[in-house]
Structure 1
Amino acid sequence: MRAARDLLVSYRRLPVTPWGSPNSAAIAALVRSAAASSGLLTERQLGRIAFELASAEDLWRPLVRHVPEHRWYVRLFHDRQFDVWLLGWDVAQDTSLHDHGGSSGAFCVTEGALAEHVADLGAPPRLGRHMHLPGAPYTFGAPYIHNLGNEGPGVASSIHAYSPPLSSMTYYKAEPRAFEPIVTIPVEGPEPSVPAAAASA
């Protein structure tokens, strides 16, 4: 498990502004139609959003990037109900063990494969492992702690949806008796903002 300082390095702001893309309006129309709700979304609705956008390759393919130096990600849509993210994974990139605040979520692999290590919060704490390939979405409620990563051999991409919109992420390390929180990072805009106090921890 990486130290707090190391895992925060990948959360600097990235020079990505997909709102200027011609696809922005089409993405918004697709995900709003898939949501079909005026309140917070269920896991099933989030899964439908992730799957339908993943299936619309012409919308996300021109935007995705795979950067060897750091994991690439950008928020494609945000309103009071939910938000949607596009992630690009080079080989050996992962998220580290984290939760999603109070948000439920769903993700759909669009290319490549992602390995997921999921925290079993029983005693003693354990990590289960799952492989995710393009196809059906995977959904989860809150709380949910996992590490998602690309073990290769090629790049991977994925679509993620959260309701309520992702507002914070807490990172953890596995101890013999529990998963111990390391740091909580607020999500204040298209990319997570790392407070100076957390970055110096």
Structure 2
Amino acid sequence: MSLELASETARAPLSPDALRTIVRDLAEQPDRWIHKVRLATDERWYERLESSEDHEVWLISWLPGQSTGFHDHGGARGAFTVALGELEELSLGGADQGLLIRRLSSGTMRAFGPEYVHDVRNTASGPAVTLHAYSPPLSEMSHYELRAGGLVRTSVEGADQW
């Protein structure tokens, strides 16, 4: 294998299943992240735990009422797990499914491809903590509003805004 081909192979995005394994394994080692958790009252608190050429891992805390709003991941694949607490995820199904609402209890994992758009929110009465992995690392995210005709992009933010 040529050096150039090896370099290209090393930069290929990880699959959603590989990302699911990363967050699952990290969730099983709370001594690596629990001491970093902060509960912020104004908005969700987050910290990048790992960063490499092919993926990154984030720790996020959620107080009741906090949410992401509908957003994508700038073409990155992703996975997350609810390490503590409970959240709700909203996404659009096909034309015949409409709005899908999933309750995500502690230990639940979700993995998705590069086109996925969702809204994650804490509708429970207590805080929650999640671990997220993205590949390639996030470079931008678009935000959307849910309107009668579907999702409409309202803004795009770059990694320099996090």
User: TM-score normalized by structure 2?
Assistant: 0.88
Check conservation: 2:16, 2:112, Cα contact below 8 A. Answer: yes
Could you tell me which of 141, 153, 156 is aligned with 1:169? Answer: 141
1:101 aligns with 2:74: yes
Work out the number of aligned pairs and report it. Answer: 153
User: Which of the residues 165, 184, 188 maps onto 2:156?
Assistant: 184
1:127 aligns with 2:127: no
Please identify runs of 4+ aligned residues in structure 1 that moved more than 6 A: none
C-alpha deviation, 1:125, in angstroms: 8.7
TM-superposed CA distance for 1:104, in Å, is 0.7
**1:153 matched residue in structure 2:** 125
**In 2, are the aligned partners of 1:82 and 1:162 still within 8 Å (CA)?**
yes
Work out whether residues 108 and 159 of structure 1, in 8 Å CA contact, stay in contact via their aligned partners in 2.
yes
Which runs of no fewer than 5 residues in structure 1 stay unpaired? 1-36, 193-201
Alignment of 1:1-201 (within 5 A): 38=10, 39-120=12-93, 122-123=94-95, 126-188=98-160, 192=162
Q: Distance in 1 between matches of 2:152 and 2:110?
A: 25
Q: 1:134 to 1:125 in 2, by over 3 A?
A: closer
Q: Which blocks of at least 5 consecutive residues in structure 2 are unaligned?
A: 1-8
Q: RMSD between aligned alpha carbons?
A: 1.7
TM-score, normalised via structure 1 length:
0.72
- The structure where strand makes up a greater share of residues is 2
Say whether the 8 Å CA contact 1:125–1:177 is kept in structure 2.
no
Deviates more, 1:41-50 or 1:62-71: 62-71
